[in-house]
Amino acid sequence: MNRLILVSGLSGAGKSTTLNALEDIGFFAVDNIPPPLWPDLIRTLEEARIQNLAIAIDIRSEFFINGLAKNIEPLRESCNSVIVIFLEAASDTLIARFNLTRRNHPLNATSLSRDLDRERLVLAPIRLLADTILDTSNLSAADLTKQLRSQFTNESPFTLRLVSFGYKYGVPTDADILMDVRTLPNPYYESSLRRLPGTHTAVQEYVFARESSNFYEHLRNTTLSFVKRAELTGRAGYTVAIGCTGGRHRSVAVVETMGKDLSPESDLQIIHRDLCKPQIDRTP
């Protein structure tokens, strides 16, 4: 096993957000599996060639917490890296979060404040073992996600997908935003361009005639604005679908040009969904 991250902390401090963030960057995430089963889990995952594992353990595993140290030490020998993260927050913040979600504390024994006090006491041994202690009192879920991604991956965490498509084949169902470029000049009606794809320079020059430049700039700036907002809120990626009638000329040309303009901004994927669809020549 390459990397093992153990995630623990107070209820409401962000364990689920942390586990989701680690899963998004390639960790196999498991919630609250008993520590005595960890070695078997690691062996099973190694057989499946899974090298990064994140395990959450919390107050629900109270029976195992006092002996947690003896379960962790053998893992340090079998894993290249073992990191323990402990998440906490001020009681007032945790109470406000519970009130917002209207969920009960896992202990649900007395008042919420007393349950939190007992939880701090029970989880104290894990806190002492922690390599990283994160106070999330002033962190949003997006802030926490961004911090974790920055700490545990060297790769760009955000992927921008630009998808060209033809409306006559249906709109992509997985797009975050749809943009319609059917008002741009259509190369289909130029016999010399009809059979050329939107990746061809001649088609792009036709589509981006002088009267179209302002429209394209608006599309590009709007796309960039949406992408920046998505990245700031902790999204791992964003999909922009750009459509014309057949998905062969205008939308392809716009995606290709926008990809060149925005490539320094993020990890970029370009997909021409309908470019290879059979084209029917309706001219006499």
Query: What is the average pLDDT value for the chain, to the nearest integer?
Result: 87
Question: How far is 78 from 221, CA to CA, in rounded Å?
Answer: 50
Mean pLDDT of 73-97: 88
pLDDT in tens, 104-155: 888 877 888 889 999 999 999 999 988 889 999 988 888 888 888 878 875 5
Which has the minimum average pLDDT: 101-105, 130-134, 269-273? 101-105
Residues 223 and 130 placed together within one structural domain of the fold:
no
Which residue(s) pair with 216 in the sheet? none
- CA-nearest of 157, 164, 156, 169 to 240 is 164
Q: Please report, for residues 162, 187, 243, 284, the alpha-carbon distance to residue 175 in angstroms, rounded to integers and kept in the order given.
A: 9, 26, 11, 37
pLDDT above 70 (res 282): no
Asked if residue 27 is part of any domain, the answer here is yes
Has residue 257 been placed in a domain? yes
User: Where does a domain end: 123, 152, 181?
Assistant: 152
Considering the domain architecture, whether residues 37 and 137 belong to the same structural domain is answered as yes
Nearest in space to 187 (alpha carbons), one of 242, 240, 244: 244
What pLDDT, on the 0 to 100 scale, is given for residue 25? 85
In a domain, 277, yes or no: no
Mean per-residue pLDDT for 151-160? Answer: 71
CATH code: domain of residue 29? 3.40.50.300
Crossing angle (nearest 10°) for helices 213-232 and 250-262:
60
| Co-location of 112 and 234 in the same domain | no
Q: Which residue has the tokens 């806190």?
A: 127
pLDDT, tens only, 177-192 = 999 999 999 999 999 9
- Whether 87 has a pLDDT exceeding 90, the answer reads yes
> Does residue 184 sit in the same domain as residue 82?
no
Q: Assign 280 a pLDDT band (cuts: 50, 70, 90).
A: low
Asked if residue 267 belongs to a domain, the reply is: yes
* Segments forming the whole domain that contains residue 8: 3-152
Domain boundary among 134, 152, 170: 152
Task: Express as a percent the part of the chain with pLDDT over 70.
Answer: 95
The SS3 call for residue 282 is: coil
**Is residue 280 domain-resident?**
no
Same-domain pairing of 124 and 197: no
In this structure, the answer to whether residues 220 and 163 fall within a common structural domain is yes
Within a domain: 21: yes
Whether 145 and 201 map to the same domain: the answer is no
Label residue 284 by pLDDT band (50, 70, 90): very low
Same domain, 196 and 230: yes
Q: How many domains does the chain have?
A: 2
Q: Is 249 helix (H, G, I), strand (E, B) or coil?
A: coil
pLDDT tens string 4-37: 999 999 999 999 999 998 998 889 999 988 999 9
The residue among 234 and 249 whose pLDDT is bigger is 249
Ramachandran assignment for 78, one of left (phi > 0), alpha (psi -120 to 50 degrees), beta (any other):
alpha
- Output the six-digit token pair for 116: 């939190």
Q: Do 44 and 86 have their domain in common?
A: yes
Q: What is the pLDDT of residue 257?
A: 94
Q: Residue 267: its pLDDT value, please?
A: 80
- Domain edge (last residue) among 152, 185, 207: 152
Q: Is the pLDDT of residue 85 over 50?
A: yes
Q: Is the pLDDT of residue 260 over 50?
A: yes
pLDDT bin (cut points 50, 70, 90) of residue 253 is: very high
CB atoms within 10 A of CB 275: 20
Q: How many residues make up the chain in this entry?
A: 284
Quote the tokens at residue 119. Answer: 């939880």
SS3 state of residue 9: strand
| Neighbour tally for 126: CB within 10 Å | 23
DSSP 147-162: HHHHHH--S---EEEE
Average pLDDT over residues 45-49: 91
Mean pLDDT of 209-227: 88
210 and 111 within one domain: no
Is 263 found in the same domain as 136?
A: no
pLDDT score of 242 more than 60: yes
Residue 87 lies in a domain: yes
State whether 267 and 182 are in the same domain.
yes
- Indicate whether 283 belongs to any domain: no
pLDDT in the model for residue 22: 92
- Match 């999909």 to its residue by tokens: 239
Q: Please, which contacts does 217-224 make with residues 24 or more away whose CB atoms are closer than 8 Å? A: 219/179, 219/181, 219/254, 219/258, 220/258, 220/261, 220/262, 222/179, 223/177, 223/179, 223/258, 223/262, 224/262, 224/265
